[in-house]
Each structure stands twice: as structure tokens, then as C-alpha cells.
Amino acid sequence: MLYRKERTELCEIVHMMFQRFETNTAGGNVSVRMNEDHIIMTPTLMSQQKLCNLKPYEILVVDMNEQKVEGEGGITREINMHMACYLERPDIGCVLHAHPKESLVFATAGLAPPNLTEGTQKLGDIPVLPFAPATSLELAETVRSHVRSLEDSSLPRAMLLRTHGILVLDKTLHKAYDILERIEFNSYVASKVLLFDALNIKKMEDQMQYQFNLKE
């Protein structure tokens, strides 16, 4: 089996994502660049049919022409979004797409989550990309255009897909998952802070001023 260790690790990560409500049965997919020739990637319907409980042989090995080399299962139609990222930037080693519970609130509202927690400060702004239908070429091109605009930006990078989910780009699978976790916690915190602000319990400006003072 090609890339047995890496395929086993990918199984473990996507199972953890599902258990922690970082994706749902509506979808999500994760890929990891192995070398110039291959990526490994979760199969289509990994959430709906498998509940993200995958075996290493179900992780696909795919070439850069989007052709399956090894693995049991079909290639997700969202591979075009993954390849758009890999082909635009050779430093991207992992593309993680998920439907996380907390971040999806902001993605659905079309609202970039305020970046409030210390653990997410290195990400800067987390933008919401314009809506495009899931699996569509339009979505892949929307992502490609945004990734191209980040040419001089260091990894990791993250973006919300309007009404759809999140996309995290990083150098490795474990680093990408770490960023997903951080953003989910930040989204939870941000939603509460916004609620406190709306109810006049604690104004959000106070929190932002506190952060500013810390940076000084």
C-alpha cells in the first residue's frame, strides 16, 4: 500500500473532526500532498456514508491529473477546489475542507468572525468568500482567485465559504487540523462576545482595547 502511514493518520484526523463537530454528514474532505506526483485524499461521501470512520485503504491516492492511483472509493467532485490550491502554491501541503459547527454560523451569515483569541492571532483576518455552489467549477475558481491573491502571504491561511464551510491551507495535515481547532474555538468565543455586546453585558470595544493594550 502506498503511503500507509500518512493514510492512517488522515483516517485518525477526519474521525476526530466528525466526533468534535468540526464537520458533519453533509460533507467535508481533506487532502495531503505527498510529492510532486501524488496527493492522498478522503473519498466522496466519507461523512454521509462512513461517518468519517475510514480505513487506510479507503483513503485515495490521486495524481495531479485528478486520476485515482490507489484506494477504494470514488473521488469527490470537490477535488477541483483542492487542486486549485495545490497548483497555485507549491508550499501548500494540506487542504482541509470541513463544515464546522461554530464557524458555519459566521459562514452562513456572511460575516467574518472577529479574531479575538490569542490562539488565532497569527491568522489575521479570516475572510468569507463569495457564494458559489458546492463542488462547482465556480467555487474552485473563487478559491483559486483568493489563493492567488495570497501569493506573498505565509501559511497557514484560512477562509470561510459562504453558507458552506471552511477551508484551511497549511504545510502539513497536523498543522491544518490545529488551525481548524483554533478557529472553531475562536468562532465560539466570538459569537458569545457579539451576544454580550448586543445585550449590553460587555461591549466588544472593551475586548478589542484589551487586546490592543496587550500588543503594546
For residue 212, is pLDDT > 60? no
Cβ 122 vs Cβ 201: under 8 Å: no
Q: What is the DSSP string of 45-89?
A: TTTTTTTT---GGGSEEEETTS-EEE-SSPPPTTHHHHHHHHHH-
For residue 213, is pLDDT > 50? no
Mean local confidence (pLDDT), 184-201: 91
For residue 210, is pLDDT > 50? no
> CB neighbours (10 Å) of residue 106?
23
For residue 100, give the amino acid letter. P
Name the residue ranges covered by the structural domains of the chain.
4-185
pLDDT digits (tens, 9 = 90+) for 120-147: 988 888 999 999 999 999 999 999 999 9
Lowest mean pLDDT segment, chosen from 38-47, 131-140, 200-209: 200-209
Query: How many residues does the structure list for the chain?
Result: 216
4-185 belongs to which homologous superfamily? Answer: Class II aldolase/adducin N-terminal domain (3.40.225.10)
End-to-end alpha carbon distance in the chain: 53
For residue 185, is pLDDT > 60? yes
pLDDT digits (tens, 9 = 90+) for 164-177: 999 999 999 999 99
> Three-state SS for 101?
coil
In what helix (H) or strand (E) does residue 39 lie, and over which residues does it extend? strand 38-41
- Rounded to two decimals, the pTM is 0.91
Half-sphere exposure of 64 (CA within 13 A, CB side): 12
Mean pLDDT of the chain: 92
Band (pLDDT 50/70/90 cuts) for residue 158 is very high
> CB neighbours (10 Å) of residue 85?
22
